[in-house]
């Protein structure tokens, strides 16, 4: 536990806060290699942080110092719990504020994801890693993924829509709440036609599915992913292959849904069977459909808003968790589109 230590050499009205950290090993992890972690806090929170021994001195306006102190305490407690600390974890702590520790298991039993989400602490447990929301919208989205039969994630690239949906699918499969995972995307060309790509149908569509394979490999060991695909407990297929099926006891994710036509979207949504859940993700600003063909995602948002069991989470540039430049690029395009609207 970090301790706020008074410094008699500094007047009471000086704009410094001194934090003492008892475990120097954890303090090294908190600061990061070449102090890059505290540099990230400095840059984002408007304070200057000086390290001396097991003390961190925060200098800056009082509101910024209080906020930075809360973040540093939360990150140190995270390390005390034996949990990793990555740049993404720091970013999440800054965006969301200090989060409570995960709820403890009762009687030595692992708690279910739904029990986890009854409070404010949210984690998605998969075979390879814990996944934590990094923004308020992501937090709402993850709750929706577990609490609703059909969840839409709508917003720009880099906001974690697909990644979190696949993580939720992996967690529900691991807990035995679904029997299979089905991941789908419309195979819509963006400049290069399928017929000109080499290989059979699987080899033609696999490049479109690669983001889904990448997400799965983050949550399962790669050899297990291949085994589950061979056993058809994980299916990755173009949207057109969903016609005529009833998808029961499955977690179904439709990615890049802005490129589904209205007819395809209705076809897909009506595949939902007993014991299944669906997540639909897309970015209405990146539609690759032929000119004049309306997007099924936009129509679904209009038609299904307010329907019980259907949840919509909308993301903005502020929810981008890739490189900070991505958020600035998205805002620049939004501004340019607004001027030409």
pLDDT for res 263: 93
Residue 104 in any domain: the answer is no
Residue 102 in any domain: the answer is no
Same-domain check for residues 123 and 65? no
Residue 256 in any domain: the answer is yes
For residues 168-186, average pLDDT: 93
Residue 281 in any domain: the answer is yes
Same-domain check for residues 198 and 74? no
List helix spans (H) across the chain.
24-31, 36-45, 62-80, 87-96, 113-116, 136-147, 161-174, 201-219, 222-230, 262-269, 296-304, 324-340
- Inform me whether the pLDDT recorded for 158 exceeds 60: yes
Confidence of residue 200 (pLDDT cuts 50, 70, 90): low
Provide the number of structural domains found in the chain: 2
* Residues of the domain holding 59: 3-96
Domain end (from 47, 71, 96): 96
- Calculate the CA dihedral of residues 12, 14, 15, 20 and round it to 10 degrees: -50
Domain end (from 68, 96, 124): 96
Greatest mean pLDDT range, 87-91, 230-234, 317-321: 230-234
Which of 1-5, 299-303, 333-337 has the weakest average pLDDT?
1-5
Residue 105 in any domain: the answer is no
Mean pLDDT for the chain? 82
Residue 312 in any domain: the answer is yes
- Inform me whether the pLDDT recorded for 2 exceeds 60: no
Beta bridge partners of 109: 106
Q: What CATH number corresponds to the domain at position 294?
A: 3.40.50.300
Same-domain check for residues 91 and 134? no
Domain end (from 53, 69, 96): 96
Beta bridge partners of 49: 58
Of the chain, the percentage scoring pLDDT greater than 70 comes to: 80
Q: What CATH number corresponds to the domain at position 56?
A: 3.30.1370.10
DSSP character at residue 261: B
pLDDT for res 318: 84
Same-domain check for residues 85 and 119? no
Residue 306 in any domain: the answer is yes
For residues 287-293, average pLDDT: 90
Same-domain check for residues 152 and 36? no
Q: Positive or negative, the Cα torsion across 287, 289, 294, 300?
A: negative
**41-91 pLDDT, tens digit each:** 998 888 999 988 888 999 988 888 888 898 899 888 888 888 888 887 888
Same-domain check for residues 174 and 252? yes
Same-domain check for residues 87 and 190? no
Same-domain check for residues 155 and 239? yes
Structure tokens at 332: 């620049």
Q: Positive or negative, the Cα torsion across 195, 199, 201, 205?
A: negative
Residue 121 in any domain: the answer is yes
Same-domain check for residues 121 and 211? yes
Same-domain check for residues 117 and 89? no
For residues 282-307, average pLDDT: 93
Same-domain check for residues 128 and 245? yes
Alpha carbon distance 251, 124 (integer Å):
15
**89-123 pLDDT, tens digit each:** 888 788 776 555 444 444 444 434 444 444 455 78
Structure tokens at 58: 């925060």
Same-domain check for residues 244 and 285? yes
pLDDT for res 197: 53
The pTM of this model reads 0.73
């Amino acid at each position: 536990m970090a301790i706020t230590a008074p410094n008699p050499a500094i007047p009471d009205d000086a704009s410094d806060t001194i934090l003492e950290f008892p475990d120097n090993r954890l303090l090294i992890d908190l600061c990061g290699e070449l102090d890059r972690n505290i540099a990230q806090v400095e840059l984002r929170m408007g304070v200057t942080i000086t390290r001396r021994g097991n003390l961190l001195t925060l200098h800056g306006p009082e509101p910024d110092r209080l906020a930075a102190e809360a973040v540093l305490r939360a990150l140190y407690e995270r390390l005390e719990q034996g949990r990793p600390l990555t740049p993404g974890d720091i970013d999440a702590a800054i965006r969301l504020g200090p989060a409570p520790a995960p709820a403890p298991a009762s009687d030595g039993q692992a708690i279910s994801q739904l029990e986890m989400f009854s409070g404010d602490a949210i984690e998605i447990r998969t075979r390879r890693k814990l996944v934590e929301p990094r923004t308020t919208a992501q937090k709402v989205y993850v709750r929706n993924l577990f609490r609703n039969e059909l969840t839409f994630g709508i917003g720009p690239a880099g906001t974690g829509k697909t990644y979190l949906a696949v993580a939720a699918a992996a967690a529900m499969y691991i807990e035995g709440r679904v029997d299979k995972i089905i991941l789908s995307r419309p195979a819509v060309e963006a400049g290069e036609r399928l017929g000109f790509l080499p290989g059979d149908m699987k080899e033609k569509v696999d490049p479109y599915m690669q983001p889904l394979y990448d997400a799965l490999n983050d949550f399962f060991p790669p050899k297990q992913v291949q085994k589950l695909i061979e056993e058809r407990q994980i299916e990755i297929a173009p949207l057109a292959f969903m016609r005529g099926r009833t998808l029961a006891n499955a977690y179904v994710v439709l990615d890049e849904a802005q490129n589904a036509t209205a007819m395809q979207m209705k076809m897909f949504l009506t595949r939902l069977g007993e014991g299944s859940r669906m997540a639909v993700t897309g970015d209405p600003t990146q539609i690759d459909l032929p000119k004049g063909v309306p997007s099924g995602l936009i129509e679904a948002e209009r038609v299904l808003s307010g329907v019980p069991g259907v949840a919509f989470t909308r993301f903005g540039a502020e929810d981008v968790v890739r490189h900070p430049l991505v958020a600035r690029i998205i805002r620049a395009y939004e501004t340019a589109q607004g001027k030409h609207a």
